[in-house]
Structure 1
Amino acid sequence: MTVQTSRIFSLLLVVSVSSVIFILSQEELLKSWTTFPGKNGLRWESVSFDIKVWGKKGETSGAPSVFTEASKAKIVDSTKINPVTEPKSSTHGAVTETPMPLLYKTNFTKLPQWNFDDVYNQDAPPRLTTCAQSLRNSQDEKFKKAFLPNIRLFLHKDNINMSEWNRLSHFNNPFGFMEYKYDDVMASVKLIPKPKEPLLLPKPAGDGCVHCAVVGTAGILNGSKMGAEIDAHDYVFRMNAAVTEGFEEDVGNRTSVYVHTAHSITSSLYFYRKYGYKSAPYNEGIKYVMIPEGMRDFQWLEGLLKGQQVSSGQFQKERPRTYYSGQYNESRFYVLHQDFLRYVRNRFLKSSNLNATFWPIVRPTNGAFTLFLALHTCDTVDAYGFMTDEYNKYSNYYFEKYVKNKVIFYVNHDYVLEKNTWKNLHDRKIIKLYQRTDPAANRKRKTEVTLTHP
């Protein structure tokens, strides 16, 4: 055997051994992370991980399997119970003590499917309502089948443990913790207090119903004169660049709940200052709800909850509390749970773009998450400033008073799917969607496709 041949043989031997070790390690991963204890009759071990992985070089044959026949019935039943993981004393099996190995988005050419993808934590039954027109009383079969009135809305330090971490680590952000390291995220999650009260309650002098308006930023509201009607609701939800000053006649001036990400609350000042945006809404008693969109949000949360500067990442040295205009209050601050965000996507807004290679960035808009938050905390929901079929008659934003910019479609959101969903919910009398037919509205404008959201 020549020296060169010997070297080649040695190299092949090393590669072969490495491949075997890798395969065995993956087998161990599947064996180690396929059981999660549950309660109320549901055991995670009954939900086997029928995993199909799509790699960069091609797909596995056949369509992804979401449920095995053996586990399907229990998963369906789980929509009525709470599959939250139990503490160490559980008799339902040993709780995983260490974080599972990281999963990477680049290992999948489209959204991976897991048997437990449609299983969610649920809290105690929601408040009883005497409101006759409550959307919870809807007889629409499709809505009733998809809607979980007691889906877990909020993440806090008392409702996550290692087993929960490992379950959620199978989902990309903002639906889970894929690619994230346990210590990096838990540094802030362990600071999030458990909410002391529901997000909303019926008004003492009201009719027993919780009436809500959800106000988006679409140009359809420019000149609408809907302000008084919006402010007449018990509660008003807003999100992102919620400019009200100078536009009160069209959009009102009250804000009860403001939904945001670290990016939206910081960048709005930069992008929309020229339209009059000065700060996030800061009405007395306002409640702030954060969407944990990515690692930068957890870094923001740590600084916010500690009352300090952000220690690392995109917002390093920023002081988060200065963005809430003195109205930040720990008892009125909420963080949306990953299960709620995934449930909204899976059951109402599952885009076909999730089958594309850019699937990791595809998610519902902040406005969509806000509207569904209202659907789970209110009895009646009226939506204003959301996209309608005639969106191309209007400017992108209602606060574009003098310059009418065309509507922009960003590929990380499926605007057409959302538009059709709002119309569908309106037609089925789940929400009331403000729609406007105005011959004098802006001329039709072409939409522009941009790769990423600013």
Structure 2
Amino acid sequence: MKTRNDPKGVSTPETETPMPPLNRSAFKKLPIWDFEDIYNQDAPPKQKTCAQSLRNSQDESFKKAFLPNIRLYMHKDNINMSEWNRLSHFNNPFGFMGFQYKDVMEAVKLIPKPKEPLFIAKPGSDGCVRCAVVGTGGILNGSKMGKEIDGHDYIIRMNGALIKGHEEDVGNRTSVYVHTAHAITASGYFFKKYGYKSAPADEGIKYVMIPEGLRDFQWMTGLLKRERVAAGQYRKSRPWTYYSGQFDEGRFYVLHPDFLRYARNRFMKSPNLEKNFWAMVRPTNGAFAIFMALHTCDIVSAYGFMTEDYMKYNNYYFETGKTHVIFYANHDYILEKNTWKKLHDTKIMRLYQRIDSETGTEKQKKL
């Protein structure tokens, strides 16, 4: 059954005040609004010249779900009061449900409009943008995939992207680092014992933020004002120090709630959204990074993500000793595993997969 929006709450251009915050606890499962599957889209980019682009896929289910012009980024010029009220119907990170207007908009009004696309084709190339999305899965330990990963035009990493000492397996370049405030701060704490010191800070790197919750907007306010965080979990923190001198507003992007909701609704809609803990359920940062790549690159390869034989590998590629993949309740890892396999099997992207080492010398299944 669809949950219909009260006409008094429907946002219109004439609306001058924010609607009262909705309480997530009032819903026993994900509420489905009449406008649930309606998203902002931007003007089409210039015509692609890459013949092998995933946008040319003939897979019917992908073509039906894929919106090549979905609005990727949120910034100060595309959130007005009407948009605020619309997005206030969706829980974070898919919207602003339960948030106070002033607490979030202080940050949003500071987010610069991106000055350039996240990626462009390299000069002298065939027009194709080739991207590697590198997760932290234990499957990469001993993979010797580093050279192949570095051979891509752009490399996207996220979370605890520990590179030093693991270059042979994971490469040594980073073009884009995808993160939340929690990921960029907690990684230093959790992975210090493995040699992790900071998020990647290659010269010219671009940073993409997932606005996961109120703490992320508080983080962005401090980051973009170059001031200590004023309130919340990171109060008194100095966010810009976590980017090792490479933070530049012109290379900072914030994923739009519409894009995050679209990726969930059309590709990764977990049955757990029907349960009473629905509000905490969302795709992983790595999953959002893959879908960002599918909308900004022509050819995508994913490394370090869950495969059918995930139980053979450690949770992280940099761990010593034997560990196991940890399943947290807010993510549906099996759904994501099946999604990556489907995208691989339908040739939308290429997923790095190990094979049984006893069967031969090949290191991965080829398309």
How far apart, CA to CA, are the structure 2 residues paired with 1:313 and 1:439? 49
CA contact (8 A) 2:10 2:85 kept: no
> How big is the shift at 1:216?
0.4
> How big is the shift at 1:276?
1.2
Alignment partner, residue 325 of structure 2: 407
> Among residues 265, 271, 285, which one is paired with 1:346 in the alignment?
265
> Among residues 117, 138, 155, which one is paired with 1:198 in the alignment?
117
Alignment partner, residue 252 of structure 2: 333
State yes or no: 1:248 paired with 2:224: no
Larger-gyration structure (1/2): 1
State yes or no: 1:33 paired with 2:19: no
State yes or no: 1:141 paired with 2:60: yes
> How big is the shift at 1:95?
2.2
Alignment partner, residue 428 of structure 1: 346
Runs (4 or more) in structure 1 with deviation over 6 Å come to none
CA contact (8 A) 2:150 2:171 kept: yes
CA contact (8 A) 1:126 1:149 kept: no
Identity of aligned residues (%): 71
| Higher RCO (CA 8 Å, separation ≥ 6 residues) | 2
State yes or no: 1:309 paired with 2:228: yes
* CA offset digits 1:15-69 (Å, max 9, x no partner): xxxxxxxxxxxx9x82312353xxxxxxxxxxxxxxxxxxxxxxxxxxxxxxxxx
- Within-5 A mapping of 1:200-219: 200-219=119-138
- Within-5 A mapping of 1:252-291: 252-291=171-210
> How big is the shift at 1:188?
0.6
* CA offset digits 1:263-295 (Å, max 9, x no partner): 000000000011111100000110000000000
Q: Which amino acid aligns with 1:186?
A: M
Aligned length: 356
Alignment partner, residue 212 of structure 2: 293
Alignment partner, residue 105 of structure 2: 186
State yes or no: 1:437 paired with 2:355: yes
State yes or no: 1:237 paired with 2:156: yes
How far apart, CA to CA, are the structure 2 residues paired with 1:407 and 1:373? 24
CA contact (8 A) 1:99 1:165 kept: yes
Give the secondary structure class of the aligned counterpart of 1:258.
strand
How far apart, CA to CA, are the structure 1 residues paired with 2:10 and 2:80? 16
How far apart, CA to CA, are the structure 2 residues paired with 1:141 and 1:324? 41
Alignment partner, residue 112 of structure 1: 31
> Among residues 292, 300, 304, which one is paired with 1:373 in the alignment?
292
> Among residues 353, 358, 367, which one is paired with 2:277 in the alignment?
358
CA contact (8 A) 1:289 1:334 kept: yes
How far apart, CA to CA, are the structure 1 residues paired with 2:61 and 2:244? 42
Give the secondary structure class of the aligned counterpart of 1:157.
coil
CA contact (8 A) 2:131 2:301 kept: yes
How far apart, CA to CA, are the structure 2 residues paired with 1:287 and 1:440? 41
How far apart, CA to CA, are the structure 1 residues paired with 2:14 and 2:74? 20
State yes or no: 1:382 paired with 2:358: no
Alignment partner, residue 323 of structure 1: 242
- Within-5 A mapping of 1:93-112: 94-112=13-31
Structure 2: gaps spanning 5 or more residues: 360-367
How far apart, CA to CA, are the structure 1 residues paired with 2:277 and 2:358? 39
RMSD value over aligned CA atoms?
Answer: 1.3
Give the secondary structure class of the aligned counterpart of 2:296.
coil
Give the secondary structure class of the aligned counterpart of 1:298.
helix
> How big is the shift at 1:102?
1.2
Q: Which amino acid aligns with 2:157?
A: R
TM-score (norm 1): 0.77
How far apart, CA to CA, are the structure 1 residues paired with 2:228 and 2:148? 40
Alignment partner, residue 57 of structure 1: none
